[in-house]
Amino acid sequence: MRKRRGKIDGDGSNLGTEVVAMRRLVTAVMALAAWVSWSAAQVRVEKVNYRGWRNTIKISNGLIEVYVTTDVGPRIVDIRPVGGNNIFYLRPDEVGKSGEKEFKLRGGWRPWIAPERYDTTWFPDNHPITYQRLKDGTLRFFGPKEPTSGIQKIVDVKVMPNEPCVWVTMRLRNVSKKPVTYAAWSLPVMKPHGKAIAPLDVGNVAAFAEVRLLTLWSYTNPTDPRFTFFNKLIIVDHAKVPPREKVIGEARVAQGIVNRRHNDEAKIGVDSKQGWVAYYHPIDRTLFVKRFPVEPRGNYPDGGCTIEIYSCQEFIEVECLSPLASIRPGGEYVFPMAFWVFSNVPDLGATEHEIATALRQYLNKTQAVKW
Judge whether 100 and 84 are in contact, CB under 8 Å. Answer: no
Measured distance CA(331)–CA(182) in Å, rounded: 13
Strand partners of residue 170: 155, 335
Domain boundaries, the chain: 7-37, 44-363
pTM of the predicted model, to two decimals?
0.89
Judge whether 151 and 180 are in contact, CB under 8 Å. Answer: yes
* Predicted pLDDT at 23: 56
Coil, helix or strand at residue 323 = coil
Peptide linkage before 301 cis (omega within 30 of 0) = no
Strand partners of residue 69: 56, 75
| Exposed / middle / buried, residue 282 (Cβ in 10 Å: 0-12, 13-18, 19+) | middle
The torsion angles phi and psi of 343, rounded to 5 degrees, stand at -110, 165
* Predicted pLDDT at 33: 42
* Predicted pLDDT at 1: 39
Separation in Å, CA 304 to CA 183, 271, 284: 12, 6, 33
Measured distance CA(362)–CA(349) in Å, rounded: 14
Q: What angle do CA 180, 182, 183 make, to 5 degrees?
A: 155
pLDDT digits (tens, 9 = 90+) for 59-103: 999 999 999 999 999 999 999 999 999 999 999 999 999 999 999
- List the chain residues with pLDDT less than 50: 1-17, 19-20, 26, 28-40
* Predicted pLDDT at 27: 52
CATH code that applies to domain 44-363: 2.70.98.10
| Closest residue by Cα to residue 55 from 74, 34, 41, 30 | 74
Measured distance CA(137)–CA(12) in Å, rounded: 56
